[in-house]
Amino acid sequence: MTSHSAPASVTIKDLHKSYGEVEVLKGIDINVSPGEVVCLIGPSGSGKSTLLRCVNLLETPNSGLIEVAGHSVTDPDVNIDKMRTNVGMVFQQFNLFSHLTVLENCTVAQIKVLKRSKAEAQKIALENLEKVGLADKAGRHPDQLSGGQQQRVAIARALSMDPQLMLFDEPTSALDPETVGDVLSIMRQLAAEGMTMIVVTHEMAFARDVADRVVFMDGGVVVEEGPAHEVIGNPQHQRTQLFLSRVLNPTAQ
Amino acid sequence: MALSPRQKQNYWRYSQYALLALIAIVLVIVADWGTLRDKVFNPDIIAHQFPGVITVALKNTLIYTALGFVVGLSLGVLLALMKISSIAPYRWISTLYIELFRGLPALLVFIAFGYGIPLAFGLRLNNYVTVMLALGMVSAAYIGEVLRAGLEAVPKGQYEAARSLGMGHSRAMMTVIIPQAFRIVLPPLTNEIILLTKDSSLVYLLGMSVAQYELTKFGREGISASGAGLTPLVVAGACYLIITVPLGLLARHFEKRAGARSRK
Ligand SMILES: Nc1ncnc2c1ncn2[C@@H]1O[C@H](COP(=O)(O)OP(=O)(O)O)[C@@H](O)[C@H]1O
Ligand SMILES: [Mg+2]
């Protein structure tokens, strides 16, 4: 276990986001307790990524409030770079730095942003690479790794910053099916260690087994939320039922 | 008997080789080897070009190219950063500059710096300064565009990943975006150096002392001095190729390397 920071809570209140005329988030309220794992599910285009990206301000909300560990993120005078060091983000397309080795990917921000010494940064990076099972690939470049391996490095890179919160945006959607399991099992382990996690995913088995809570979004609003087994096992709203039946039985008519 | 597709293809290929061989034979028979030797590849005149063509002309061509490149690259970096800036007037200035200097003949810019500006403002620029400004300002427009394209070719996700690790805008640019853009622009940048090497011949317009002659001027003077046709220009031309051909191979090498990386 290499994360020493206490897990953060997340509060999202009446969040609105528009692109031009189009309102993509229409008043979102979500609370995440420290150490809780929340899965965001919903059809493509429902605003899941936008919501996740608002939490670390890759997108600027139009109105509403977001707090991470009690600190307002939406305050216009927030030190955004400092806030982001506490929030790890894992992207669908991995986004590893292609000109750096695996080890350098995991040390560069530690050294340049957290001002850790190179030796300390490497030690922490190797611990996290060990954790994702890729310490032996430390000297490789990202293009020499499979998609699943790249995503595991991306997780190690984020963890090397000792985040209090991890955001995952469809981390397994770009992977070959046989590598999905490795990534999910690392996320599962992270959840068990008590990390606060918000995960956008289409992996319903993962959501059911790992998430404390599932939030179903459609058309920029939260349609239904609750304990994972309830939302997935016994959805109340028709839109949730329709979505789940499509995801769980893609070939059925 | 009908030929198979493969036989047809071979037949077609061999007939092309036969045609080329025939043209070569005709050229060899028709050519006036004596005149060619005398006027184009005259060994005495070739010998006479040395060592000056190397120690003076080739050296100066390299110096002028390097001077132009230093200015062109510095100004080009500035233009590229201005062009992708979020501050609109910077973008306008950069666009204006690039369109202006890409749209004008380099020759016109040289005349402006060599004759126009001294006449208009009564200030006589040092030849080296003139070369730096004229070559540098023209190449900056092209280099700026090459660099801008390189910066924009770095996937947006790289910037977002850097920012989400807590790097500020400048830090993300310096640590992640510019190093990657640099790899992308190496082949086109090498091509720009080739163009610059050739454009350095325009220095020929300025009133240069003998010690400042570059390859084209040196070849031109060689013709006047020897009255012996093309030979001095052939020597000067060969010297250009000594610079530009390896650069071309280098650009191809960079391209292949970049291709091998991005294919995965
Ligand atoms: N940068 C953007 N500019 C304009 N529209 C966008 C942008 N990003 C997302 N959108 C739109 O916002 C909506 C929600 O997108 P997104 O949050 O990516 O949905 P999801 O992740 O649930 O598939 C979509 O209709 C999408 O087209
Ligand atoms: Mg999405």
- A40/A48 Cα distance (integer angstroms): 7
pLDDT score at B264: 42
Reported as half-sphere exposure (CB side, CA atoms, 13 A), residue B223 has a value of 14
For residue A139, give the 3-state DSSP assignment: coil
**pTM assigned to the model:** 0.85
Which residue of A49, A59, A198 sits with most ligand 1 atoms within 8 Å of its CB, as the best mutation to test the pocket? A49
Q: Strand (E) positions, A108-252? A: 165-169, 196-200, 213-218, 221-227
- Read off the pLDDT of residues A193-226 as tens digits, 9 standing for 90 and up: 999 999 999 999 999 999 999 999 999 999 999 9
Q: Identify residues of A whose CB sits under 8 angstroms from chain B CBs.
A: 56, 58, 81-82, 84-85, 87-89, 91, 93, 95-99, 108-109, 112-114, 143-144, 154, 157-158, 161
Q: What is the pLDDT of residue B158?
A: 97
Q: B45 and B222 in contact (C-beta within 8 Å)? A: yes
Nearest Cα to Cα of residue A11 among A36, A35, A38, A29 = A29
Ligand 1 pocket mutation, candidates A15, A18, A24, A243, criterion most atoms within 8 A of CB: A24
Contact A114 B166 (CB under 8 A): yes
* Residue A125 alpha carbon to ligand 1 centre in Å: 33
d(CA B257, CA A215): 46
B168 in reach of chain A (CB within 8 A): yes
Nearest CA to ligand 1 atom 17: A47
Helices (H) and strands (E) in chain A, counts: 9, 10
Smallest CA-to-CA distance from A25 within A4, A53, A67 is with: A53
Map residue A164 onto helix, strand or coil: coil
Average pLDDT, chain A: 94
- Percent of chain A residues past pLDDT 90, beyond the cut: 93
Contacts of B171 in chain A (CB under 8 A): 112-113
Tens digit of each residue's pLDDT (9 = 90 or more) over A236-247: 999 999 999 998
Neighbours of A197 (CB within 10 A): 24
For chain A, list the strands marked E by DSSP: 10-19, 22-32, 37-41, 63-68, 71-72, 87-90, 165-169, 196-200, 213-218, 221-227
Kindly tell me if the per-residue pLDDT of A3 is higher than 60.
no
Residue B118: per-residue pLDDT: 86
Query: Does the CB of B35 have a partner CB in chain A at under 8 Å?
Result: no
- Determine contact, residues B209/B179, Cβ cutoff 8 Å: no
ipTM of the complex: 0.94
Residue list, ligand 1 pocket, CB within 6 Å: A 19, 24, 42, 44-50
- Tokens 């600027």 locate to A60
Residue A192 sits at φ, ψ, to 5 deg, of -65, -30
Which residue, A164, A153, A155, is CA-closest to A68? A164
Q: Which residue has the tokens 């030690």?
A: A123
CB–CB contact A95 B158 (8 Å)? yes
- Give the closest-approach CA distance of A165 to chain B in angstroms: 12
User: A224: CA distance to ligand 1 center in Å?
Assistant: 20
Half-sphere exposure of A138 (CA within 13 A, CB side): 16
Ligand at minimal distance from the CA of A219 is 1
Q: Which residues of chain B from 180 to 219 reach within 8 Å of chain A, CB to CB? A: 180, 183
Which residue's CA is minimally distant from atom 26 of ligand 1?
A: A45
How distant, in Å, are the alpha carbons of A232, B57, B69 from that of B126? 79, 19, 18
Residue ranges of chain B with per-residue pLDDT less than 70: 1, 228, 260-264
pLDDT computed for residue B222 by the predictor: 87
**Token pair belonging to A36:** 């809780």
Pairing of strands A63-68, A37-41: unpaired
Q: What is the pLDDT of residue B262?
A: 58
pLDDT, tens digit, 9 for 90 and up, residues A100-136:
999 999 999 999 999 999 999 999 999 999 999 999 9
Residue of B nearest to A84 (CA): B166
Instruction: Between A49 and B44, name the one with better pLDDT.
Output: A49
Alpha carbons A52 and A198: distance in angstroms, whole number: 8
- Which pLDDT score is estimated for A2? 42
Mean of the pLDDT values across residues A68-80? 92
CA of B168 to the centre of ligand 1 (A): 24
Taking every pair of Cα atoms in chain A, the longest distance, rounded to a whole number of angstroms, is 58
- List all residues 6 or more positions away from B118 whose beta carbon is below 8 Å from its beta carbon: B124, B125
Residue of B nearest to A56 (CA): B164
B153 CA to centre of own chain = 22
Nearest CA in chain A to B164: A84
Q: What is the pLDDT of residues A5-41, one digit of tens each?
A: 799 999 999 999 999 999 999 999 999 999 999 999 9
pLDDT of residue A253 exceeding 70, the answer is: no
Smallest CA–CA distance, residue A13 to chain B, in Å, is: 22
> Which residue spans within A20-121 are E strands per DSSP?
22-32, 37-41, 63-68, 71-72, 87-90
Q: Are B165 and A109 an interchain contact pair (Cβ–Cβ within 8 Å)?
A: yes
Smallest CA–CA distance from B184 into chain A, residue: A99
Instruction: Identify the CA nearest to A55 among candidates A23, A33, A88.
Output: A88
Q: For a pocket test of ligand 1, which of A19, A25, A62, A218 has the largest count of ligand atoms closer than 8 A to its C-beta?
A: A19
Say if CB B228 and CB B45 are below 8 A apart.
yes
